[in-house]
Amino acid sequence: MNIPVERLNNGKPIIAPQGDGWESQGTANSCALLLERRPSIDRVLEPILGSSAMKDSRLRDGVVVSLYTGCGVFAGDTVGTQSRGLAIFTPAMELVKRLAQPVFRPSMESGKIDALGIEDARLTMTDDVFHIWYCGYDGKDGAACVAHSRDLINWRRVAPLPGNINDTYNKDHVIIERKVAGKWWMLHRPWGPRFPDMRDMVIRLASADDVLGPWTDCGEIIRGFQHPGRKTMWVGAGPAPLPLGGDRFLLLYHTGSYFQDGHRQYDACAAILDFSRFAPEHPGAIVTRRLEPIMTPETEWEKNPKLKLDIVFPMGAYRHGKYLMMVYGAGDVYTCAARMPFDALVEAVERSDLSNPYL
């Protein structure tokens, strides 16, 4: 079923590369999180925005924070890195402020897993603590990492995360933002040399007693469907799943695929997770519905003919009025935003099943 999707900012990027330094080469796959206004949040935001901006009527109902991607060469460095900048938006995704310098950078220390990259970061908040769930990259290997902060400026990293989720390369990890059945839950996606068949790059579930781990893998929950017109397909989680009541959540995720000619495409998809159905012997039972796709690359910013790569890559999601707001990577260069009626999306997912929609 087609979901009415409205691309914001006339489809143009909300965050684009600029300058000739740390964010000059790319700003794709930026995370975003809606913060409701309250005293503890205002104390974080006021030093960043200033007291006058805090009175902006557009921010009355909340503020969207993006720890956005900055790819480029930082002053004094000799190699390109991926850092995290800070941009503030209204809930309608109108830019309020974009800081000139990154707030979280790779360690640049030899032997550290995140020496060169803070990649594909998702942002969550629990008990007024912010967490960036990112893939640490050292130029060769990648691992699931996290950094935490109370002010969005100063970050403490746990790189790599402890637990067996990092027994192989790992990325596309994000948590449920509260405990369910007494546990923290994570979606993650192993990759790398141990997965020569990309169809085996699947979304898996992990659990922990503490949000910083150690994280124990629970098994596969979502595998990419196979498409008769494409060479292979795989999946990865998007932003933190949105609560639907009880132990049910709406998950946005991506499906990646290669065409026979080597062209690559990423589409946005949706699923419903019900943790009341969790069983250790069958973790995938929590996935009750899947809808593929809900959005595909169409615009000049989402399509990258130079790289033969078309991308809609969901990285941030929140409810605003009657809409689901989605922040996504576009074309491996930009960050864009779109919205769609929340109830219509959930109803469409609920009407779907787990069968392959491409056959």
DSSP string, 47-83: HHH-TTGGG-GGGTT-EEEEEEEEEE--TT-SS-EEE
pLDDT at 163: 98
Q: What does the domain layout of the chain look like in residue ranges?
A: 15-106+120-130+145-158
Determine the pLDDT at residue 108: 79
Q: For residues 96 and 51, give the distance between their C-alpha atoms in angstroms, rounded to a whole number.
A: 13
Instruction: List the beta bridge partners of residue 312.
Output: 330
Please report the pLDDT score of residue 1 as a whole number. 54
Question: Is residue 275 over pLDDT 80?
Answer: yes
User: How confident is the prediction for the chain on average, in pLDDT?
Assistant: 96
Nearest CA to 34 among 137, 130, 148? Answer: 130
Residue 316: pLDDT above 60?
Answer: yes
Is residue 136 scored above 70 in pLDDT?
yes
With tokens 């949706």, the residue in question is 270
- Is pLDDT of 101 > 70? yes
Q: In terms of pLDDT, which residue wins out, 3 or 18?
A: 18
pTM of the full structure: 0.96
| Average of per-residue pLDDT across 197-210 | 96
| Pairing outcome for strands 142-149 and 156-158 | antiparallel
Taking only the tens place, the pLDDT of each residue in 56-70 is 999 998 999 999 999
- Cα 106 from Cα 121, distance rounded (Å): 12
As a whole-number percent, the residues of the chain with pLDDT over 70 amount to 100
Asked if residue 75 has pLDDT above 80, the reply is: no
Q: What is the pLDDT, as a whole number, of residue 77?
A: 72
- Burial of residue 259 (number of CB atoms within 10 Å: 0-12, 13-18, 19+): middle
**What are the residues whose beta carbons fall under 8 Å from the beta carbon of 30, sequence distance 6 or more?**
15, 66, 67, 68, 69, 87, 315, 316, 327, 329, 335
For residue 348, pLDDT over 60 is answered with yes
- Which pLDDT belongs to residue 194? 87
Q: What is the pLDDT of residues 14-55, one digit of tens each?
A: 999 999 999 999 999 999 999 999 999 999 999 999 999 999
Nearest residue to 318 (alpha-carbon basis) of 12, 11, 35, 27: 35
Instruction: For residue 358, give both structure tokens.
Output: 């491409």
